[in-house]
Amino acid sequence: MRVVADIPHPQIKITLLAWNGKYLIKLEKGDFEQTYKISEMDVMGDAGAKELLDEDFIEAALNRFSDMRDAFVSSIRRNS
């Protein structure tokens, strides 16, 4: 697995990786992570993969992190 880029963002850690004919977009916030796999054939190189990380995508991912945290906290409360 090759790290293509660490993409700066003030709220989350974004890493673009290449592995086995795919790009992996790894987003991390605290204890949670989201990974998206894209075939190298579906984008135009490293730059094409980076273009997917537009404002709307990042906003949706941040909302998903909130949902993940809420679901996890709810599970802990139910099962403690």
Q: How many helices (H) and strands (E) does the chain have?
A: 2, 4
Chain centroid to CA 36: 6
Quick one: average pLDDT of 70-80?
A: 96
pTM: 0.92
Residue 25, Cβ density class (10 Å: 0-12 exposed, 13-18 middle, ≥19 buried): buried
Residue 13, Cβ density class (10 Å: 0-12 exposed, 13-18 middle, ≥19 buried): middle
Specify the pLDDT at position 66: 98
Specify the pLDDT at position 50: 95
Could you read off the pLDDT of 22-73 as tens digits, one per residue? Answer: 999 999 999 999 999 999 999 999 999 999 999 999 999 999 999 999 999 9
Specify the pLDDT at position 62: 98
Split into its structural domains, the chain has a count of 1
Q: Which range of residues forms the domain containing residue 31?
A: 2-78
